[in-house]
Amino acid sequence: MSTDKMESGDSPSTKKIEDKAQPRMRKVSCRNPAMPWFGMDIGGSLAKLVYFEPEDMNLEDENTEFEPEALYKIHHYLRYNTAYGSTGIRDTHLEVKNLTVFGHKGSMHFIRFPTTSMNLFLDMVKEKNLSSLADTIHATGGGAYKFENGFNEVVNMSLQKHDELGCLLRGIHFIDRMIPNECYYWKNTDAFNSEASEKVPYDFHNPYPYLVVNIGSGVSLLAVHSHSNFKRVGGSSLGGGTFLGLCCLLTGCQTFEEAIELASEGDATKVDKSVRDIYGTDYNRFGLPGSVVASSFCNMSIKEKRDAASKKDLARSTLLTITNNIGSIARMTALNEGIERIVFVGNFLRVNPISMKLLSYAMDFWSKGSLKALFLQHEGYFGAVGAFLELIGYDGDRNGNGEETSK
């Protein structure tokens, strides 16, 4: 994320989500820390950064002598670029406009970079002299512990660490409350004709109880009964990191985007053994259609099948294997907890409609319609939003009028 290679940016695109967000006046009351306002989630694969851009401080006006200069510089660097160095990306389609935080009207920006680029990020923070404006960054995720010394030593800043699952939930509740159509489900998810399915907004106003399945590098499952009553009820080491790691090994691909693209063109039936491959038909007694995967990757033990399977087929099967496993764990956990709504989040779902549709189909099919799979537009950013909320001291409670209250 070095500053020497920054690309000139375009203005943030205005997506559906923002258009719909415009009419609502969104006000957040809290304490007023020094700008700039950031929240960070440093995960096993990706570091996520949420930045609040105040639009009422003349940071846009070149002729304004804005003090301190470091704030002006940081603002311009983030605002007028969509790529930072060779690995940092601003997800412009997720930008939230028209948000009022502690009397400042502005936009929330969403930036990510690989956690392996943390040293470059620290160099950028040092170069922009962030420590002249603040001595602390509010951060969550395992990296808030791992990189604590780096922040101290390289940029002379400390990390205020916050629990990652608490931040995740605070972020989910905040974003869902602030943004219309944040929550959605997939309609018509036929696993074998997934083109026909479409996204449909879901009213998540009364969310409790629900299960969160956070699919990051690994998987965490939380049963949420209220904004303050939740517990971690399960997890799996077979998550998004497993998919990407296996895909890189099996296909030689280099990036998540490449892995998903390969998978979208592959045919997993060449790799997996289905019920039909074993029975020659459906397994009717227990209602198992012939097309259901009986054994993932089983065909790869046969030389001819191995020779016939392409990289695309291998990528597809890897994606379905990981997704089906997460789906099974989610379904059994929901059953165990007596919960019917399952919210899937995490960056594994980024640019990954195949997994979202498959999870939707699987929840519906195997529960005979009693479980509902839900998704959120800001997929992997909720932890960083939660850290941002810690910075501004937002507690998320509502007063009798349904408005946000201050701490």
Residues with catalytic roles: 164
CA distance 234 to 333: 7
- How many CA atoms lie within 13 Å of 214's alpha carbon, on the beta-carbon side? 27
Positions in the binding site for ligand ADP (CB under 6 A): 43-46, 114, 141, 216-217, 240-241, 243-244, 256, 346-348, 350, 380
Q: Which residues pair with 389 in a beta bridge?
A: none
Please, which residue, 51 or 365, has the CB nearer to ligand ADP? Answer: 51
Q: How far is the CB of 379 from ligand ADP (least distance, A)?
A: 7
Please, which residue, 213 or 271, has the CB nearer to ligand ADP? Answer: 213
Q: How far is the CB of 45 from ligand ADP (least distance, A)?
A: 4
Task: Quote helix, strand, coil % in the chain, to nearest 5.
Answer: 40, 25, 35
CA distances from 33 to 104, 134, 144, 393 (A): 12, 9, 20, 9
Please, which residue, 12 or 143, has the CB nearer to ligand ADP? Answer: 143
CA distance 166 to 386: 8
Q: How far is the CB of 240 from ligand ADP (least distance, A)?
A: 3
Please, which residue, 130 or 213, has the CB nearer to ligand ADP? Answer: 213
Residue 86: both structure tokens together: 């060779």
Q: How far is the CB of 148 from ligand ADP (least distance, A)?
A: 17
Q: How far is the CB of 307 from ligand ADP (least distance, A)?
A: 28
Burial of 51 (0-12, 13-18, 19+ CB in 10 A): buried
Q: How many CB atoms lie within 10 A of CB 226?
A: 9
Please, which residue, 131 or 321, has the CB nearer to ligand ADP? Answer: 321
Burial of 402 (0-12, 13-18, 19+ CB in 10 A): exposed
